[in-house]
Amino acid sequence: MTQGRLAGRFIAVTGAAQGIGQAIAADFRSEGADLFLLDIDGDALAQAVSDLSASPGGRIYHAAADIADPARVAEVFADAAAQAGRSLDGLVNNAGVNVFHAPLDTSAAEWQRAFAINLEGAWSCARAVLPGMIAARTGSIVNIASTHALTIIPGTFPYPVVKHALLGLTKSLALEYAGQGVRVNAIAPGYVATQKVLDWWHSQPDPAAARAATLALHPQGRIAEVGEIARAATFMISDECRFMTASCLTIDGGLSQRQHG
């Protein structure tokens, strides 16, 4: 049941064409928000916008953009604000890319790709919305981190490095602008039932065994649904947690607290 908790808000969501981003966009819209949706895949984004528009809700603006391109990010955010006639007062930095290697097997290009999208892209989007939030003395940014920001799994380099850095960005911006009414927080999901996870299972020699092994890592015996992350994002970006900033909410079914699998 929705309650219009985001009525009157104008919120950007990156990586909104599928998975967690699309679920967050749907939840925000059901709670009354106007949306600005970004994704690098223009066709998939157009389909997501069409799907979202099939149900009642706020206005949707969208743009295909590679968040690793700071000039393009600045351009599309300015265009969205001009179209809407108002500044954005919310942002979810969800877009990201998995880059998993052994450290010495990581090429310079893969290292740069991981940081350009997962960290620098998040900063470019935050930099685009912060001036309006500061001027209005209100705003909320939620960065989608990962349990990789809290723990280290060998063979996943440099992903945990960049996700730890994203938490550093979260805390730094939160403390820098707390006095101006801007809150910055993070969500650290564990395994989530996205297409990427399903594709990974199916890429293994025994998909059923791979799925069972993943589920066995979790004390609850399952992984998260995208809607569970979306509901948390709605709470964190809303005024219901207006005294929360520089915090990270972990949603992993206890995975990151389990010492032995």
**Residue 261 pLDDT > 50, yes or no?**
no
Considering the domain boundaries, does residue 103 fall inside one?
yes
DSSP state, 92?
Answer: E
In a domain, 186, yes or no: yes
Residue-wise DSSP of 146-161? -GGGTS--TT-EEHHH
The average confidence (pLDDT) of the chain is 95
Any domain includes 203:
no
Looking at this protein, which amino acid is placed at residue 24? I
Q: Which sign, positive or negative, has the C-alpha torsion 188, 193, 195, 197?
A: positive
Domain membership flag for residue 198? no
**Predicted structure pTM score:** 0.95
Q: How do residues 20-42 score in pLDDT, each as one tens digit?
A: 999 999 999 999 999 999 999 99
Over residues 255-260, mean pLDDT = 76
61 neighbors 84 (Cβ within 8 angstroms): yes
Taking residues 154-175, report their average pLDDT.
97
If one counts the domains in the chain, the total is: 1
Assess if residue 209 is contained within a domain: no
DSSP string spanning 219-251? Answer: TTSS-B-HHHHHHHHHHHHSGGGTT--S-EEEE
Query: Which residue range forms the structural domain that includes residue 98?
Result: 10-192+226-255
**pLDDT reported for residue 239:** 94
In the set 61, 159, 177, 191, the catalytic residue is 159
pLDDT for the residue numbered 2: 59
CATH of the domain at 72: 3.40.50.720
**Average pLDDT for 241-258:** 94
pLDDT, greater one: 202 or 261: 202
Task: Tell me which DSSP letter residue 157 carries.
Answer: E
pLDDT-derived band at 3 (thresholds 50, 70, 90) equals: confident
Residue 68 belongs to some domain of the structure: yes
Q: Is residue 220 part of a domain?
A: no
**At 159, which helix (H) or strand (E)?**
helix 159-177
The dihedral built from the CA positions of residue 215, 164, 99 and 234, taken in this order, carries a sign that is: positive
In-domain check, residue 62: yes
Would you say residue 259 has pLDDT above 60?
A: no
61 annotated active-site: no
pLDDT value at 190 more than 60: yes
